[in-house]
Amino acid sequence: MPEPCPCGSGRPYPECCQPHIEGAARPRTAEELMRSRYTAYATHAIAYLSHSWHPDTRPSDLTPDRDLKWIGLKILSTEAGGPDDETGWVAFVARYKIGGRAHRLRERSRFVRHEGRWVYLDGEIEERHR
């Protein structure tokens, strides 16, 4: 049986985020993009992160911190971001560890359609905890 997807959906990785990360399918909603981007961070799929980031706000260096390990994602809310929308927001808490210490990142991310596909535009970090 395939391993569950890192995004926390409860679905197997090959049926959830893997098709997005490998380019076999596009996320239909902002939440699907959010989940696949979290999975890309967790699996160090840097090419996907770059491709799924709006070119106007994409950092030039997306080299991952190899000491950081993503350990969980919880979607708190979504606003718009459906298959027929042009913009959407996803609020989430992502848990991670650095040097064995647990941390949380709470963010409200903004997604937009760019060239017909969902991309991450920017976000508002609401809180970081150790």
What pLDDT is stored for residue 130 in this prediction?
57
Dist CA 80 CA 125 (whole Å): 19
Asked whether 53 and 41 are in contact (CB, 8 A), the reply is no
pLDDT digit string (tens) for the chain, length 130 residues: 789 999 999 999 999 999 999 999 999 999 999 999 999 999 999 999 999 999 999 999 999 888 999 999 999 999 999 999 999 999 999 999 999 999 999 999 999 999 999 999 999 998 666 5
- Classify residue 129 as left (phi > 0), alpha (psi -120 to 50) or beta: beta
Q: Could you tell me the fold of the domain covering 13-129?
A: Nuclear Transport Factor 2; Chain: A, (3.10.450)
What pLDDT is stored for residue 2 in this prediction?
84
CB atoms within 10 A of CB 23: 10
Asked whether 13 and 2 are in contact (CB, 8 A), the reply is yes
How many Cα atoms within 13 Å fall on the side-chain side of residue 46? 8
Please state the domain extents for the chain: 13-129
What pLDDT is stored for residue 128 in this prediction?
63
What pLDDT is stored for residue 70 in this prediction?
96
